[in-house]
Amino acid sequence: MTRTDGRTPEQLRAWSITPNYLKHPAGSVLISCGNTRVICAATLEDKVPQWMKNQKVSGGWITSEYGMLPSATGERVKREASAGKQSGRTVEIQRLIGRSLRMACDLELLGERTCLIDCDVIDADGGTRCASISGGATALAIACRKNNIPAFKELVAAVSVGVVNGVPMLDLCFEEDSAAEVDMNVVMTSSGKLIEVQGTAEDKPFSRATLNELLDLAEHGLKQIFDMQRTILEQF
């Protein structure tokens, strides 16, 4: 069985990472996976959130904000800044990115710093949260290396998997995602441990066996994404 864009079920889309995409932030990349493109920028600030001070938590913090250009999608979406609030989807995604990226660093070694990862989607064709995590981790690693901060522990990447027309598939594009019965995002460390598993029955509940097939596919794809990230980081 082949897919709408000719891939086999276990095949990634074309992924690429362009480092130093922006002029100002400490680290930045443009990450593409198929037609999805996300600008990821890591900004370092010499302060920590108020709640850390209040609760006397030592070390630093990593957090993320996610946005989408209004014209990134087939049908233009309302600009959240003019709507006056972020959608529930946006809030959910940026919380996921933040949690995932905190696993990439030793927060104690980050020192009294906050690293804010902005992920802004320029073109959306499915998988924007996974691209944001994979690109954001790369921008974070670059920011740490450029500033000689020894906090970075290991790479983090994410990929989507799902069941479409009964077939488990890797790295869904928007069209596949819209038709998926089960949709799952898997976030891993480069040493092969799970950070986050979010599997959702979109249309019908799924078995433990299906869950395992999807996890296998995700591991297969993530290995290739880690290789790409490593190649980029060699330059820094």
List contacts with a copy of itself (CB under 8 A). Answer: 22-25, 28, 35, 39, 41, 43, 45, 65, 67, 69-74, 76, 79-86, 88-92, 94-95, 99, 103, 116, 118, 120, 122-123, 125, 188-189, 191, 193-201, 204-208, 211, 215
> Contact 161/170 with Cβ under 8 angstroms?
yes
Q: In the beta sheet, which residues pair with residue 148? A: none
| Cα 16–Cα 17–Cα 23 angle in degrees, nearest 5 | 145
CB burial class (10 A; 0-12, 13-18, 19+) of residue 11?
Answer: middle
Min. distance of Cβ 200 from a copy of itself in angstroms?
5
CB-wise, 208 or 234, nearer to a copy of itself? 208
Min. distance of Cβ 99 from a copy of itself in angstroms?
6
* DSSP assignment of 18-52: EES-SSSSSEEEEEEETTEEEEEEEEEES---HHH
Min. distance of Cβ 205 from a copy of itself in angstroms?
3
CB-wise, 1 or 207, nearer to a copy of itself? 207
Which residue in 148, 89, 66, 165 sits closest to 113, CA to CA?
148
| Both tokens assigned to 67 | 């946005």
CB-wise, 70 or 150, nearer to a copy of itself? 70
Min. distance of Cβ 28 from a copy of itself in angstroms?
7
Min. distance of Cβ 3 from a copy of itself in angstroms?
19
CA distance 187 to 197: 7
- Write the CA distances from 164 to 5, 27, 158, 181, 204, integer angstroms: 14, 36, 19, 6, 11
Min. distance of Cβ 64 from a copy of itself in angstroms?
11
CB-wise, 111 or 199, nearer to a copy of itself? 199
Min. distance of Cβ 228 from a copy of itself in angstroms?
20
CB-wise, 148 or 208, nearer to a copy of itself? 208
The torsion angles phi and psi of 114, rounded to 5 degrees, stand at: -115, 135
In b/e form, how buried is each residue of 115-148, taking b as 16+ CB within 10 angstroms? Answer: bbbbbbbebbbbbbbbbbbbbbbbbbbbbbbeee
CB-wise, 50 or 234, nearer to a copy of itself? 50
CB-wise, 55 or 235, nearer to a copy of itself? 55
